[in-house]
Amino acid sequence: MKIKRRTLLTALAATPVLSTVTAAATATATATPAAAAEQASNTALYANPAWTEGTDWGRRSRRHLIDDRSTAGRAPFLRSTVIAPHGGGIEGGTSELCLAIAGYDPADLSPTPPAGPVHDFWMFEGLMRTGNGDLHVTSTHCDDTIARSLCAGSLNVLSLHGCKPEQAGLEPGAAAVLVGGLNSTFRHYLMEEFTAAGIRAVTASGEEEIAGIDPDNICNRTLLGMGAQLEMTTALRTAMFADGKNTIADRATNLLPSFWTFAAATRRAIDRVEAGQTVL
């Protein structure tokens, strides 16, 4: 997230494409990075000689195979994609949540639960020990080819982000999730499931970036032209990982119950929105 945003709130499984995590094994990042030179787009970032893929930044994604060669029946169509445009050390915890919500254990990418639904996913991750904030590309400028392709072929996209309470107009230290995006039904289900799980959820409004209401926001580049976006405060994300283990190297294997509570609530909301969508 860009620190300059001023926001008002209304109160209230194919083979995974994996990037190699190398130099950033001990980097820690739980908060949104301080103001830095915003990258114009993913395309511009990828072409920047200052950084190297697989060392300074990486991408992971999975597009599930649809193999339908029978005239007697139909193969299932995956309706939803989960993305983390600022994963790794940029907005800490969003990579792990992206995998878990998509139906995979962040530690080894095994399906969890084994018989549960899975969703396509994509993430961009900062892998450096420091300075990952310099890799930030705002959601309206996300033009990664795989990300755009996955979102454009999905009925639903859920985009995961991190923010500081002051960016969201909340009190210092607030542990909350801001629910935005153009899909009002999706937002409603997310709010209900978070509230039922005891997670403080607030409807995001005001400036477009946190509210996720710009049609060019990657979360809204779906088949329906609308999706959902979650902005999770630093305190909420920090509480999901064991003390002293909130690093790129350690997070995936040090998940606390609150992490799985959040992921499960989000997956229930996805299940609900998918249940009302007929694929012709």
Contact between 167 and 1 under an 8 Å Cβ cutoff? The reply is yes
Instruction: Dump pLDDT digits (tens) for 210-255.
Output: 899 999 999 999 999 999 999 999 999 999 999 999 999 999 999 9
Task: Give the chain's mean pLDDT.
Answer: 88
pLDDT the model gives residue 76: 81
* Residue 194 one-letter amino acid: F
Contact between 33 and 86 under an 8 Å Cβ cutoff? The reply is no
pLDDT the model gives residue 217: 97
In the chain, % of residues over pLDDT 70: 86
Instruction: Dump pLDDT digits (tens) for 69-113.
Output: 999 888 788 999 999 999 999 999 999 999 999 999 999 999 998
pLDDT the model gives residue 34: 36
Tokens for 129, please give them.
């020990």
CA–CA separation, 258 and 173 (whole Å): 17
pLDDT the model gives residue 235: 97
Instruction: Dump pLDDT digits (tens) for 101-114.
Output: 999 999 999 999 88
- For 182, what's the count of Cα atoms within 13 Å in the CB-facing half-sphere? 19
Region for 16 from its dihedrals, namely left if φ exceeds 0, alpha if ψ lies in -120 to 50, beta otherwise: beta
pLDDT the model gives residue 279: 86
Of 40, 42, 37, give the one whose Cα is nearest residue 53: 42
